[in-house]
Every structure is written in C-alpha cells, then in structure tokens.
Structure 1
Amino acid sequence: MSQALKPAPAGAPAEASNRVSLGLSNRLLARPEIGALVAAVVIFIFFLIVAPAFRSAPSFFTVLYQSSTIGIVAVGVGMLMIGGEFDLSAGVLVTAGGLFNALFCYNLGINLWVGAILSLVFCLAVGFLNGYLVMRTGIPSFLITLGTFFVLQGANLGVTKIVTGSVSSQNINQMDGYASLNWIFAHVFQIGPVQLSITVIWWLAFAVLSAYVLQRTRIGNWIYAVGGSAPSARAVGVPVKRVKIGLFMTVAFLGWFTGMHYLYNFNVLQAGNGVGNEFLYIIAAVVGGTLMTGGYGNSLGVAIGAFIFGMTSLCIVYAGWDPNWFRAFLGVMLLLAVLVNLYIKKLSTIRKVG
C-alpha cells in the first residue's frame, strides 16, 4: 500500500515567497550603482522643488552636457579604479591632448586631422608610460601619475607660452579639417526647443561599451580579478601587466577624446585648464559605487555619479545659491558615498557567503 502524501504546511507558500522576495531585495541592494541611483533620484526631486529654472527641458539637456564632459573620462577612470589603480594626470592630459593638436597644426600649417591623430598617439604613449612605470617599479599609481600630472601641467603652460607668447592656443576654426572634426567632437543637434550635444551620445556609448566589457567579456573578468587581488589573478594566469597598462591607456584615450571636444567646441584652449578635474572623475566613480580599494563597481554607477555631478554643479546656480558651496557639497557627497559603498559591499559579501 502506497504511503499517503503529507500535506504541506499552511504557511509554506508564504514563507517561500518571502524568502524569494528577500533574496531579490538583497541582490538589488548589493548592486554597486543602487546607492548612486537613489541619491540621483533624491537630488533630482530636491532641485525640481528648489530650482524652478531646472524644470525646463533646455536646462535638463544642459545638465546632460555638463555631465558628459566629466562622464566620458570618468568611464575610463572607473574601470581603472576597479582594476585597483588611480590616474591623477587625467585632468591635465585632457588639456595636453587638445593643445598638442592646436599648436602643432597651427604653427606648421597642416591639416587638423594629422594633429588629431598625432595627439592621440601622444596621449596613448602617456597612458602606456604611466602603466608601465607602475608595473615595472611597483611604486603606487598615485605617486607615478602625480609626477605625470606635474610634468604635463608645466609642459602645457611652458610650451604654450613659448609657441604663442601667451597661455592660450590660437583659434583654429579656419583651418583645414576643422569642419569634420567639429562635427565628430562638438556637434549640437537641434531637437525642437532643446539642443543635444554629441558628447552626451558619446558618453552614453562609452558607458554602454564599458559595461559590456566589464560584465560580458573575459577582459572584464580580468579587470575585476586584478583589482581584487593582483597576485591571485596572476597565479591563475591573468596577464596582470597587460590589463593594467591597457586600463591606463583607456583613460588616456578618453582624455584625448574629451580634449578634442574642448578644442573643437571652443576653438581655443587655455593651457591651465584641467587642473583639479582628475578629482572630479574619481568622485564620479566613487559616488557611482566604485570602491577605492579596487575589484568592485560598474560603468552604470559611474555614469550616474557623473550625472549627479552635472546636476548639482548647475542646479546650485539655478537655485540662486552661492556656487562656492559646490565644493563643500562634493566633499560631503564623497564621504557619504564611501560609507554607502562599504555597506553595499558588505551586503554583497554576506549574500555570496549565504
């Protein structure tokens, strides 16, 4: 005679449903970008209330443009930080790339495309040198790139002063190749009453590409591995040196790209520009959920962090407040982001262990 089946306890379906809901909730909270997303929504609503000028579509698209000028380089800086390194030369490298293109072509009278390509080679060489020195010497990237920062800052000012007699490049808007380069790096689309800068499109494209590389490719796995523990990654066959040098060169490429935008958007560049922007890139990455210890973060979070920067930097002005408070806000936001990121990382670790 077959044994009778025992009925399930009356509360079993509800308990199972609660466990599933709790698991989904923990997985959601453990995502690196969730803290930045919540912060972005709160800040967005807050400025909608206190800054009436922010409620118009043109103002929102201006915020997107401001975010993109930081967000493009922040994508590369975020990947580099996930890989366990920093680049303090990224801000001045943006200016160096643009100055190289402008000064070289104007003074030799050659097509701007030639200067743009040579400028790219120069920036990639700087990125390679940063990565090579970090891996070759074992000196922390903070110190190596700080040295590069001072070299580039001095060269930007010194070379520009020698070549032009001032601290700004010449106007290049009448030179061969300007029109096509301006379209690629600084075109503005008119969409009804609003203007959409092409940099916003490039920013989102780079963020999506970075997210795909990090989440869907072997290289992405390598980046997380070297950021978590380089010796362990090396022990399982990850090419640590190539990965880290590649990350520095990625930052250099995106720095060059942003430098091209500034040059072809404004037609001239001030040699002292870019100083301090390296911290904005790092802040965007940290606010977006990237741990400064490496091995944790994603590109979506970095993009949200850049949007928070663009939103607050302009909305403080829209609200009629003293813009000098913006730096204080950045400091507070950075400290809060570090605390939130550590808490979310702890949740993620608990979930994996459980």
Structure 2
Amino acid sequence: MSADRLPRSRRPAPPRRRLPDRVLARPSLAAALGLAVVVVLFGLRVPDLLTVGGLAAVLDTAALLGIGGVAVGLLLVGGHFDVSIGMLTVSSAVLTGVLVGPAEWGVWPALTASLAAALAVGLLNGWLVVRTGLPSFLVTLATALVLQGVTVAGLPLVAGAPRISGLDEARGWSSASALFGSTAEVGDGVFSVSLLWWVALTAVAGWLLWRTRFGNEVLSMGGSRRAARELGVPVHRTTLVLYALTAFAAWLLGTLTLVSTASVAATPALVTAIDFVVVAVLGGCLLTGGYGSMAGAAIGALLYAVARRGVELAGWDPRWSQALLGVFLLVALLVGGVVRGRLRAAPRS
C-alpha cells in the first residue's frame, strides 16, 4: 500500500526542514532581526524613541519610505529596477500643483490628470524596457533625468516661482485632505493617514505576489525571463503592469506630500529613489530578482526610519545614519548572496 493511501495517523511525518531552508522561506527574517537590534540600540540610549510621540515620528517617515519601497520591491522580485520613482513623485505632485494653482482646476480633476500622466510614464518605462531589451536601470535613469529637467526648469516658467503655495483654497480640497492629509492625535503623537495607505499597499502587494497568478508570473519572470517565456508567462504584459504599479506608488507619494503641506516645489529626488531600493533590499528582495517579500520591504522601511530617527534623537551627526544604513545594506547584500547561492543549488522539481 502506498504512503498516500495509508490512514493519516499511520502516514510518515514529512521531513523536517533544516534551519537554513526555513530562513530561506522567510525573506523578511533578516530585516526583522536588524530592526530588533536597532530598536534595542537606540531604545536604551534615547528612551524618547519608544514613546508615543517617537513612534509617530518613526511611522510617519516609514510610511512614505514603505510605500515606495514596497512598489520597488515588487519590481525587483520581477527582475527590474526603477530609479525614476523619486523624480516621478515630484513631477506628478508639481503637475497637480500647476493644474490646481495657475490653471485653477479643481483638486480631483487635477489629481486624475496627474495620475494618468504618472501611469503613462510608468507604461513608457515598461514599454522601453520590453521593446529595446536595455537594462531597466539605464532606461529609468534616463526617464528620471528627463523628468528632472522638465520639472525643475518648467515650473518657474509656468508658475513664476520654484514653489506653488496656497493650494488649500482650491475646489474639492477638503475631501482630498480627508483622504490624503488627515491625521489622528494619540497622546503626544500625531499619526498621518499615510500610515493606513502604507499598510493597505503592503497588504495588497503581498497578496498579489503570493496568492495570485500574477504573483507567480512575477516570481517566474524574476527567476529566469527566458524560462518564464517558455512556460507561457506573459512577460511583456507583466512588466508593463509592474511599472504601472510603481508609477501609481510615485503618484500616491507625491499626492500625500502635496496635500499635507498644501504646497509643492520642484526638487531633484534621485536620492529618494535610491532610498526605496535600499529599503527593498534591506527587506530581503534580491537585486537579481525572483525572491523577496513585501512584508520584508515594509520592515526594511521601519529599520531605515528607526535608524534615522534614533540618530536624530541621540544628537549625532545625521551622516552617521547613512553610515549605519550602509552597514545594514552591506549585510543585506551579503545575506542576499548566500540566499542566491542556495537557491541556485536547490534541486528543481
């Protein structure tokens, strides 16, 4: 009698997985351990970090980093980069500000137009990557430079100044503010609605990656694009969808920032794009694709935010936060190299 026909009580127990294999199944574990170390390190030195106010400040920073990090992380799992997300964030916000301010549009028509423009840029990135076969890093870097030039040089020409203010007088501002700019006070902390957007986006991205056919296509494409094509994965369509999702995240970040300040300025944002990549890698997303976790990317954003806020509260030179994050990034890359080697050595069924 075969084992699968035996009564459940007499079936042999499945072989227990070794610790390295269990770690591989949880890409977010390294980020969680790093987060615990940073919380203990700064929590002992600056107790204010562990207060409600300190938590609110950390989450406010982590939410914006996490929204971009989760989108970039999903793209990394698919084997692609997008370094234009930071500048697209600024450009979409500037477009909204120009339409609301000098053009005197209502807030919602302006937001709809800027979302359409952001999605068009994302789809263009995806189309160029698919059609030319060029590295996505170079394609999106070129896009970022074009957006930076047009935005930084164009805003003063259109608005007469490098910053547009007073947007809260536009039609529909109150409803937009409720959705993108509301806050809640708890004790001495002020929590922004961006936190809810971050949690929702992380949950949706995690569900897409691990519970849908689209997620299987992303993982297959990131593991081997050629093999994915041979298996019938729609690589071109999946790539376009990934870049559209990244563009939506950029628009959302720009909108959250614009609505919370009721103003917008044309500021180069390449460093922000790199920060999003750092957050995703800290969370366990491999730069080579095919492996990663959206929960890990969210934890990576928390790790980044705690380190930055801890350095500020400790009164250290802010550059120490960059050094600390560089150490964590190096560790994440080394761990990623080990993971990549074990994945290649794993038997294929």
Q: What code does the residue aligned with 1:25 have?
A: L
Give the distance between the partners of 2:347 and 2:23, measured in 1 at CA: 13
1:209-257 per-position Cα deviation (integer Å, ceiling 9, x unaligned): 1111111100000000111111110111100000011101100001000
Give the distance between the partners of 2:192 and 2:346, measured in 1 at CA: 41
1:180 to 172, 175, 184: 175
1:100 to 95, 98, 101: 95
Deviation of the 1:50 alpha carbon: 1.4
Give the distance between the partners of 2:208 and 2:281, measured in 1 at CA: 19
Deviation of the 1:57 alpha carbon: 1.2
The answer as to whether partners of 1:97 and 1:120 remain within 8 angstroms in 2 is yes
Q: Aligned residue for 1:338?
A: 333
The answer as to whether partners of 2:46 and 2:313 remain within 8 angstroms in 1 is yes
**2:165 counterpart of 1:170:** yes
Q: What code does the residue aligned with 1:229 have?
A: S
Q: What code does the residue aligned with 2:19 have?
A: S
Q: Aligned residue for 2:23?
A: 29
Q: Secondary structure at the match of 1:129?
A: helix
1:263 to 243, 258, 263: 258
Q: Aligned residue for 1:114?
A: 109
Give the distance between the partners of 1:62 and 1:204, measured in 2 at CA: 16
The answer as to whether partners of 2:148 and 2:268 remain within 8 angstroms in 1 is no
TM-score (norm 1): 0.91
The answer as to whether partners of 1:263 and 1:269 remain within 8 angstroms in 2 is yes
The answer as to whether partners of 2:49 and 2:313 remain within 8 angstroms in 1 is yes
1:64-96 per-position Cα deviation (integer Å, ceiling 9, x unaligned): 110001110111100100000000100010011
Report the count of equivalent residues: 337
Q: How does 1:154-233 map to 2 (within 5 A)?
A: 154-233=149-228
Q: Secondary structure at the match of 2:185?
A: strand
The answer as to whether partners of 1:33 and 1:298 remain within 8 angstroms in 2 is yes
The answer as to whether partners of 2:102 and 2:159 remain within 8 angstroms in 1 is no
The answer as to whether partners of 1:98 and 1:256 remain within 8 angstroms in 2 is yes
Question: Which sections of structure 2, spanning at least 5 residues, go unmatched?
Answer: 1-11
**2:306 counterpart of 1:311:** yes
Q: Secondary structure at the match of 2:37?
A: helix
Q: Secondary structure at the match of 2:216?
A: helix
Q: How does 1:283-322 map to 2 (within 5 A)?
A: 283-322=278-317
| Rg larger in structure | 1
Q: What code does the residue aligned with 2:118 have?
A: C
Q: Secondary structure at the match of 1:276?
A: helix
Q: Secondary structure at the match of 2:242?
A: helix
Q: How does 1:111-150 map to 2 (within 5 A)?
A: 111-150=106-145
Identity of aligned residues (%): 33
Deviation of the 1:137 alpha carbon: 0.5
Deviation of the 1:316 alpha carbon: 0.4
Give the distance between the partners of 1:48 and 1:350, measured in 2 at CA: 40
Q: Secondary structure at the match of 1:196?
A: strand
1:166-204 per-position Cα deviation (integer Å, ceiling 9, x unaligned): 211232011111111111112101234432211111101
Deviation of the 1:273 alpha carbon: 4.6
CA RMSD of the aligned region, Å? 1.9
Question: Which sections of structure 1, spanning at least 5 residues, go unmatched?
Answer: 1-15
TM-score (norm 2): 0.92
Give the distance between the partners of 1:133 and 1:70, measured in 2 at CA: 26
Give the distance between the partners of 1:180 and 1:246, measured in 2 at CA: 29
Give the distance between the partners of 1:199 and 1:352, measured in 2 at CA: 42
Give the distance between the partners of 2:332 and 2:319, measured in 1 at CA: 21
Q: Aligned residue for 2:69?
A: 74
Deviates more, 1:133-142 or 1:159-168: 159-168
